[in-house]
Structure 1
């Protein structure tokens, strides 16, 4: 079905939006039919472009006030009365018709360059905010896997379309916006004996392991094993805030039916955990399952990345499985020793608190990681 027909039904008196070319064609055809019928019947004289023959009736076309028509209400027999901004729709139709007149007649690049519209300045009104454009750029860069340099160039491209820049396009500012350093810790592990050396920034860029006397060069990441820990509080807060009704239902209203299992909340371990909580924490908790699995950075290299995810249980099923929280990354070119990585992860989770407002009530949630889910390949490093 054509786009401009999908809103109307048979017999609907509303004017159907259409391209100017199609509309003019219909008017000319209808005028011809009216003139022929009038001459044959000799009933009355009508002026051209005054009457249209529709369903054997003549309808007077008066001067159309676009604002009155396109700001009015349209009766939709399915959804009821809906307010339509017809001026915007009309401008889109006119613009589409103009584009068809320009590009529809162009056969190749040379004809496009020689067309007068090629050098005309664009006067189309911008209908997006800076924030919307910023998010559109980020989504485009993620979908197309742009490098950071590609992202910078895309910002510069958008700014070049305006007389003055509308978005930041310097590498330093964009790096601060898209790669915040708050809540991120970088740790170094000796590649030879897997001893924890400390945080990056607290130790020299060239260090010597006190256990095996190996030299660690932090400037060359491929010669060292390191991991990052990301505070998950903000990510968890955002997810729960977007589904606070469900979270409130699980933590405050849901009643477990004995012998009936419909979700993780009905499991034995979960119910025992909730009962074991102190009274002041029975509404201020969030549970999670964590998972990790190694992925090679390059097909021809032994270098691998081990991300550590949290799946929040107190979210709807379709959300919790698709919106995992990344809270750690381990980078190594050898078989990983998970002991140090997981020790620091446990310390992070134990200290982490999630400030959030639920039903206009300020809460501070504590994270409880209940289970670990890994495949057979990752199970051995975890047990070790």
Structure 2
């Protein structure tokens, strides 16, 4: 039955062509004199079915069965003989059955019994076993994808704004209304007149560019969904019409420079074999039939942003800071002071540290993200923390398959190591740089996984040496322990590891050889040593390992009869002592009671072990156990210092060895855990690659925490995180340029949302690394302060200019917050105690004194000096001393009383 007023196919094609040219529904309807709803329906059907031909009344293309195909071919082959026609029909019919059974529209609900051993998919929509599909569903190809005949293959990166939208999640099937809303937002004519330098309204101090930057920072920080972002745009335009285009497409265009550069890498749903960016039609390992559309739908992929693109942008901004480490002769400090780094350093190249630890996404499921994060070793530590690179992001159940997960990373590093890449600095000069990976930091579980070694609870489970370990009874079960061996233990080396891996592969052994299970993909990483390249991570083995283990052991009621046991009364005393401590702002978390230690983070365990426990445990633990415990903070104070000499490293190594060696006699052999054993390898890692803070996992764990805040809802999590990460990176990069002439309030608000500066209040710059915070108050110096100036020869010039000074309560000196005693007295933190080159003192007041100059009172005069008036603290003549005869040193020398 023909339809009334049906538009011709040529007219429908013209509508689509105008839409492709960027015209909105209103403009197309006005130009062709067609109702707007008709234009919208035609465009939506073209988007979904890639055709402008007349569709059935059901709204979707007809499903063509085998019999229908045969009958259509009979009708078309009128010029062919009946014999040839029959042959053609038979061939078509047999081909249909050869590809698989005839697939109907409801076959997507079929479950597959052979997918129980699959790696977990990367999307919750495909994670449930009730949604897994059988083999005959995957075998569709080309334009005959039977599992979703009414869905087009959308670019998941382009549609990231739909992720996390509650309307999108609840009504995925009803795409007409959602698409209509999207297209409505794309019709905003103000896009053509957008100018970053233009004020949002006459008389305003805010430009359109500044408002757009603040808007993007707000959306990224709070993880707004598509619906929330759209409503925010409408709200702003209701308050100030035309202040910013209302199109989400416009926001997407300005949110990142990496649009279209993200790579989607696929892996096989059955055997997790790496398929690359083009999965093809069949897996080369298990012969599983594949479809790109199905792999995208069920999220059997992970995302990759090439390092070359990121490095080119990063080096253009920070190239002047490369190699600007602060050094001291004959001392270990940052990565560049390590022996391994210095032996392989090459001019015109940069080296990377990478991390590949997983982080759980939900507390109620096993889904997690596994990013590959990189930092540039040639940058100073502070700059490395600010410029972390994200190469790969995998999301799914459990752990990724290493072969698939690491392949894109290794392939790109092979290219960057051999050929390098070219980039231009800020003045246009071209440079050529090669890139190699030298260090990998991760926890013990991830380390064994990527090395292809046995885990630490198996024989030869240490990835640094050939310690076999011992199985002993612990409680109702058994555990593997690693006590100190009297005859020593040989360290692992790269050539031996390669030989053991070849031995396992060549003889087809079912068991590992000396802890090596087989070849590792990291063997293919250029200039990377699979043994020395892994650095023991003190965050996991010390903070979350040994420290937590022994504190829990002291309060464990199972050991109530032991001498080291601490009672509830001891616990209450320690809780009170901890809560009375006022640490400075450099300690990220204020102390919490030991009763809440189950919720402590790694930073809190580190602060307890190094700063609090040497003081509060002195009269609580029995003397022999306290002396044993002090070996640990004594060693870590050296390994975490700014600089350490070779002699200091040797002393720290002896402390750690003694700590581990005394555990069996004091606590029992069963408590000599793998984390305790790794302590003995810390100093070797320091000699190779610098002090512990230089290769800490803290910076990567902090980045993982930020990544977990970059999504909303439960759909397309990896896509949301990837998009928001690079949007955030562009926002930070553009902030200084766009807001250069903006007001202080706008800059402070931007910094607070972008977290690009620790202090965002009004600043008053006194020197290069010295600023005051807040508004000062005018006063005159007291006689006591004037007398102090007279005694100080370097500040004698101040006295004639001290009729009126400006007093401040707080300042920041070299990224350290310093406050007066009056300001710190009422707070949980105390930043008033400082250490100078000659003494330890308490800051009583901070005043700014004008310098003698010839500025003649100009308002822009900056000739002034910040003076600290302090009260010196006198050290007691008797300092804490704990002499260890075996080490021949005072292990309490870091304490000051």
Q: TM tier, shorter chain?
A: 0.5 to 0.7
SS in 1 for 2:371: strand
Matched-pair contact (CA < 8 Å) for 1:311–1:324: yes
Select which of 146, 149, 170 maps to 2:247: 170
Q: Residues of 1 paired with 2:208 and 2:434: CA distance?
A: 36
| CA spacing shift, 1:233–1:153, aligned 2, 3 Å | farther
More strand by share: 1
Alignment gaps of 5+ in structure 1: 1-121
1:350 maps onto 2:427 in alignment: no
Shift of 1:312: 1.2
Residue pair 2:266, 2:279 contacting (<8 A) in 1 also: no
Q: Does the CA contact (< 8 Å) of 1:222 and 1:303 recur in 2?
A: no
Question: 1:186 matched to which residue of 2?
Answer: 264
How far 1:347 sits from its partner (Å)?
1.3
Shift of 1:287: 1.4
Which of 199, 209, 226 is the aligned partner of 2:283? 209
Deviation at 1:208, TM superposition (A): 4.7
Moved more, 175-184 or 212-221: 212-221
Match of 1:323 among 364, 387, 391: 387
The equivalent of 2:720 in structure 1 is none
Instruction: Give the counterpart of 1:375 among 443, 448, 472.
Output: 443
CA–CA distance in 2 between the matches of 1:349 and 1:132?
Answer: 38
Aligned residue among 305, 309, 330 for 1:230: 305
The corresponding residue for 2:343 is 272
Distance 2:289 2:393 in 1: 23
SS of the aligned residue for 1:159 comes to: helix
Quick check: 1:244–1:358 contact (8 Å CA) kept in 2?
Answer: no
TM-score calculated relative to the size of structure 1: 0.56
> Secondary structure of 2:425's match?
strand
CA contact (8 A) 1:216 1:223 kept: no
Alpha-carbon distance between aligned partners in 1 of 2:205 and 2:316, rounded to the nearest angstrom = 29
Is 1:366 matched with 2:434?
Answer: yes
Q: Alpha carbon RMSD of aligned pairs, Å?
A: 3.1
> 2:393 is paired with a residue of what secondary structure?
strand
| d(CA) in 1 for partners of 2:290, 2:283 | 7
Specify the alignment match of 1:156 in structure 2.
Answer: 234
Partners of 1:123 and 1:174 lie apart in 2 by 20
CA contact (8 A) 1:313 1:320 kept: yes
Number of aligned positions between the proteins: 247
Distance 1:340 1:247, change over 3 A: same
1:1-384 residue pairs with structure 2 within 5 A?
125-164=203-242, 166-178=243-255, 180-199=258-277, 202-203=278-279, 208-214=282-288, 218-219=293-294, 223-247=298-322, 249=324, 257=329, 259-274=330-345, 277=346, 282=347, 284-352=348-416, 353=421, 355-357=423-425, 361-384=429-452
Q: Deviation per CA, 1:285-331, whole angstroms, max 9, x where unpaired?
A: 22110001112333333332211100111222112124311111122
TM-fit CA distance, 1:124? 7.3
1:340 deviates by 2.3
Q: CA deviation at 1:128?
A: 1.9
Query: Aligned equivalents of 1:349 and 1:152: distance in 2?
Result: 40
Q: Describe the superposition over 1:248-304 as per-residue Cα deviations: whole angstroms up to 9, x where unpaired.
A: 646xxx9884x3223211111111122xx3xxxx1x222110001112333333332
2:355 and 2:303 map into 1 onto residues whose CA distance is: 16
Distance 1:243 1:210 in 2: 44
1:68-115: per-residue Cα shift (whole Å, max 9, x none)? xxxxxxxxxxxxxxxxxxxxxxxxxxxxxxxxxxxxxxxxxxxxxxxx
5+ residue gaps, structure 2, are 1-199, 453-897
Determine if contact 1:290/1:310 at 8 Å carries over to the other structure: yes
Q: For 1:209 and 1:331, locate their aligned partners in 2 and report how far apart those are by CA, in whole Å.
A: 21
| 1:370 CA drift (Å) | 0.9
